[in-house]
């Protein structure tokens, strides 16, 4: 009997199959049908045998639909296994990890409560937005990093003397790690986001980027606002080519086009979220953490 059964939710079926292969686990697929009123009907296509059951499902947009599907699958399979783990490669709501403005709700805490209530015993996620978000889930949770596999991809690109740039102070450690593995240097920009409008501004003064090829490193790119502003700022200072490395490419509201128009040559992300930029596979990072 195999130790693991892997169930792929519809948001992460390809990644789930890769994880299953690496774990030599049985793979079970699921089906999502949508009724005319918008309700989802989720079916698991096989009943899992006694094993550790791993449900793989990222919660990128449509966030709530993908989250509900994950909760539904878990609540079904926990009848057949006392050990149901949720692998949530990209976990939505992680940016709502504190009360920034009065009256706001710490929604990642609610996500944790829902996962626990549905029967999740452990969560595994990749490059979660903050340590606080992980803590707020309040279930045994582990975060693994995709930085090394992302850097390996960039090594093969042979970019001449790249300088690593974090678009904000919060990403300093990430940029430092990326630069250390790539054996190069890094800088950190100062970013301000208006909490009411979401508008982003770069507050840094002059930086030494003239003729340097840059790799902007972030955990996620959503609307692209942060990357666009950072790229415009760096281009004004006569930098060379600009590349973007991120774990989670949400790329909502035509972000890809806006980023390219700002002067970015290429966006490279991982398959925590499927898409054109998802060139880096995190299945080994995930399966190694589960073994």
Binding footprint of ligand R5P on the chain (CB under 6 A):
95, 167-168, 170-171, 200, 218-226
State the Cα–Cα distance between residues 156 and 109, nearest whole angstrom.
39
Cβ-based nearer residue to ligand R5P, 69 or 97: 97
Helices (H), the chain: 13-23, 63-77, 107-118, 131-136, 147-157, 172-182, 225-236, 255-262, 283-290
Cβ-based nearer residue to ligand R5P, 237 or 253: 253
Active-site entry in 76, 121, 191, 229: 191
Closest CA to 239 of 162, 153, 155: 162
Q: In this structure, are residues 220 and 247 in contact, taking their beta carbons and an 8 Å threshold?
A: yes
User: Beta 242-249 vs 214-221: how paired, if at all?
Assistant: parallel
CB of 226 to ligand R5P, least distance (A): 3
Residue 238 makes CB contacts below 8 A (sequence gap 6+) with: 209, 210, 211
CB of 200 to ligand R5P, least distance (A): 6
Active site residue 191: yes
Residue 181 makes CB contacts below 8 A (sequence gap 6+) with: 147, 148, 151
CB of 53 to ligand R5P, least distance (A): 32
Helices 63-77 and 107-118, axial angle in degrees (round to 10): 30
Cβ-based nearer residue to ligand R5P, 17 or 258: 258
User: Beta 52-56 vs 84-88: how paired, if at all?
Assistant: parallel
State the Cα–Cα distance between residues 45 and 52, nearest whole angstrom.
17
Catalytic residues: 191
């Amino acid at each position: 009997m195999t130790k693991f059964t892997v169930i792929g939710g519809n948001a992460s079926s390809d990644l789930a199959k890769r994880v299953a292969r690496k774990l030599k686990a049985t793979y079970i697929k699921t089906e999502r049908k949508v009724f005319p009123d918008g309700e989802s009907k989720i079916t698991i296509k096989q009943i899992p045998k006694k094993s550790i059951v791993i449900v793989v499902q990222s919660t990128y947009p449509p966030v709530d639909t993908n989250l509900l599907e994950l909760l539904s699958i878990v609540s079904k399979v926990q009848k057949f296994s006392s050990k149901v783990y949720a692998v949530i490669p990209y976990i939505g709501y992680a940016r709502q990890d504190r009360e920034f403005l009065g009256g706001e709700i710490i929604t990642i805490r609610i996500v944790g409560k829902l996962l626990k209530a549905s029967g999740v015993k452990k969560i595994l996620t990749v490059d979660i937005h903050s340590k606080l978000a992980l803590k707020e889930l309040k279930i045994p949770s582990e975060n693994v990093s995709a930085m090394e596999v992302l850097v390996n991809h960039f090594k093969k690109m042979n970019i001449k003397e790249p300088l690593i740039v974090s678009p904000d102070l919060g990403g300093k450690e990430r940029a430092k790690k990326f630069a250390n593995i790539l054996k190069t240097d890094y800088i950190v920009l100062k970013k301000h986001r208006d909490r009411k409008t979401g508008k982003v501004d770069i507050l840094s003064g002059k930086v030494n980027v003239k003729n340097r090829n840059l790799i902007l490193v972030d955990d996620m790119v959503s609307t692209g606002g942060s990357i666009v502003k950072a790229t415009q700022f760096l281009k004004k200072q006569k930098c060379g080519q600009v590349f973007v490395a991120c774990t989670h490419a949400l790329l909502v509201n035509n972000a890809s086009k806006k980023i390219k128009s700002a002067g970015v040559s290429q966006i490279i992300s991982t398959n925590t979220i499927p898409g054109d930029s998802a060139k880096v596979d995190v299945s080994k990072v995930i399966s190694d953490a589960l073994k």
